[in-house]
Structure 1
């Protein structure tokens, strides 16, 4: 069976969406599918995929209108029959429409978060004549698409963890409670909630001072967060690690006691923001970390309040502080929530569940 994918990128080291799509296509390759791809941005090419970019060269200024026809014509001339067609981003639906008309195969559209929240799905919906199914990364995103009057089939397909930790170390010797956030420090993604955590730590400090807040990730927002920590006299408690490799990241996850990322959500069409899913929560859960996250957005698929973590209003720093203190003061609760978090991920969000999520797409 031949699969066609059109998207912006498949570089697995580029970001969460790229890793998500690359993982899905690589699993399909392992299952015997032939994967044809056309990507708008990648220079490096993955040997698992057949890149149509090599033969359908980009033509500046014209590709917005002609690229879809050119890809479709190329496939027809080569006698390549496409059985399943994926559009990797709603911004590429126009090109996918043209390809569909050319090859006679409808496409399935991947949706994630702010790409389709607000009115961003409703506005082009009447133009998506060849749309077959929508593949949604989370329940929250599914709900947002439904609210925009889409009456077709939506397939739930969350990100799946491939590499499980080889070991989990318990009772690592350190004399402080370690709070951890792993996320890019991008000025365009300030909704991740690093600043809210830092602000909440002033309240935490009144009741418990033996803690550190570790921030892993790089980006231009680091200076703002460092300034905030300094203004609140927390420069000794807030530690910035920048980018770390996978080995170091595993060590950091093991040393942490609590994983926290109170990502804010806004459905204001003029300021859409929020987690489409929050795969770092699943990564932390595999290390049996108790989770603190928002009570809205894509990560609610992962966090069950008082079962495997604590959910809070991400705009309320006092609520965040209360969640932190609850876990700081109750080691048994931290342990129980962490164990439950790992069990949920193992049962629902690993590559072992791939076929159960993918099979409905084939139907």
Structure 2
């Protein structure tokens, strides 16, 4: 079997959900070559990556301006007998996918995640390219429905969900209390002013209701971004600084410790509609990270969270626009340790069974084998 070529706009060592998805799956696949943007720290990363990576400089704003560079590099890389096909790592590259597939007749697979197909000025061109892709790979049933709304036939769409490292069978299963034995609710995610769909503001509104029943609780928030100053100000205005810790960005070791020590994970993401389109959580790898260490999850009943969290089994899905519903879910779990532990165990087992990176790589390999 010949190699496939993976062409990316987003790839490690840059940080983000798409970068993690493509990097973790690609390193577990066989017979692959990668074209990716130049990035700080790339030489060290590429030296340990199991496949060849060709780095090219791209403009900082990787809209349509980045597509010609990647398309030309892809054509340069393609002595037409060398590769079985091309995996395009972002819908913005769908135009190039259509052109290259038309020129060389190679199978093309385009990856789509969420907001990348519902926002932005490139949608008309993107729709043209998506219509010419042999397969569309997406991460959730929610995004699959958005692709179908763009006119992509369901029989060309495959879901390859994200994953995490397999749970350690010898790792801690029971909840681990915080250092001062106060209950800890954890949220991890970017805090961007232009997005705002992850629900931090609604949790601030819910906190007084939670504190009325669980007065010792702490809400620990990990993540930075352009919206962090406004969130700090909102916490100050509401007088909640004693119960809400905004940690900003933390290192991997500290983050792993926070996951282990929290009592539950909370991120009630919602769908936000504006002039540019829909903004939402395409899946939410953080939900899997919490489940991996046996923590129950409270998430919004929209977007990819519906695939990541089994309502009533591994967590609770709530109305993400209703602070009372968010508070009720948090309170119900904080007041019932046995239920928390049972949900956490079920989540951990589900991750081990269905949401590891090894499983994701095998699923994408299966998609490619359909086209071989």
Return the TM-score normalized by structure 1: 0.89
Distance 1:189 1:150 in 2: 26
The more displaced of 254-263 and 127-136 is 127-136
Find the counterpart in structure 2 of residue 142 from structure 1: 144
Asked if 2 retains the 8 angstrom alpha-carbon contact of 1:121 and 1:145, the reply is no
Distance 2:59 2:14 in 1: 27
* Aligned positions of 1:111-260 closer than 5 A: 111-117=112-118, 124-128=126-130, 130-151=132-153, 152-162=155-165, 164-165=167-168, 167-168=171-172, 170-173=174-177, 174-260=180-266
Find the counterpart in structure 1 of residue 6 from structure 2: 5
Find the counterpart in structure 1 of residue 102 from structure 2: 101
Asked if 2 retains the 8 angstrom alpha-carbon contact of 1:157 and 1:358, the reply is no
Find the counterpart in structure 1 of residue 315 from structure 2: 309
Asked if 1 retains the 8 angstrom alpha-carbon contact of 2:110 and 2:130, the reply is no
- Please state whether the residue corresponding to 2:297 is helix, strand or coil: strand
Distance 1:38 1:297 in 2: 30
Check 1:357–1:95 CA distance in 2 against 1; reply closer, same or farther (3 A cut).
closer
Distance 2:110 2:8 in 1: 10
Q: CA deviation at 1:14?
A: 1.3
Q: CA deviation at 1:101?
A: 3.4
Distance 1:175 1:69 in 2: 58
Asked if 1 retains the 8 angstrom alpha-carbon contact of 2:131 and 2:152, the reply is no
Q: CA deviation at 1:51?
A: 3.5
Asked if 1 retains the 8 angstrom alpha-carbon contact of 2:119 and 2:279, the reply is no
Distance 2:59 2:115 in 1: 29
Q: CA deviation at 1:319?
A: 0.7
Find the counterpart in structure 1 of residue 356 from structure 2: 350
Find the counterpart in structure 2 of residue 361 from structure 1: 368
- Please state whether the residue corresponding to 1:334 is helix, strand or coil: helix
- Please state whether the residue corresponding to 2:299 is helix, strand or coil: strand
Check 1:129–1:317 CA distance in 2 against 1; reply closer, same or farther (3 A cut).
closer
Distance 2:25 2:33 in 1: 13
Q: CA deviation at 1:336?
A: 1.1
Give the structure, 1 or 2, with the largest relative contact order (CA under 8 Å, sep 6 or more). 2
Find the counterpart in structure 2 of residue 81 from structure 1: 82
Q: CA deviation at 1:204?
A: 1.6
Distance 2:340 2:97 in 1: 47
- Please state whether the residue corresponding to 2:78 is helix, strand or coil: helix
Asked if 1 retains the 8 angstrom alpha-carbon contact of 2:112 and 2:138, the reply is yes
Q: CA deviation at 1:137?
A: 0.8
Q: CA deviation at 1:129?
A: 5.9
Gaps of 5+ in 1: none
Distance 1:268 1:138 in 2: 22
Residues paired across the two proteins, number = 355
Per-residue CA deviations over 1:306-329 (Å, capped at 9, x if unaligned) read 111111111111111111111121
Distance 1:209 1:337 in 2: 23
Return the TM-score normalized by structure 2: 0.87
Distance 1:52 1:351 in 2: 23
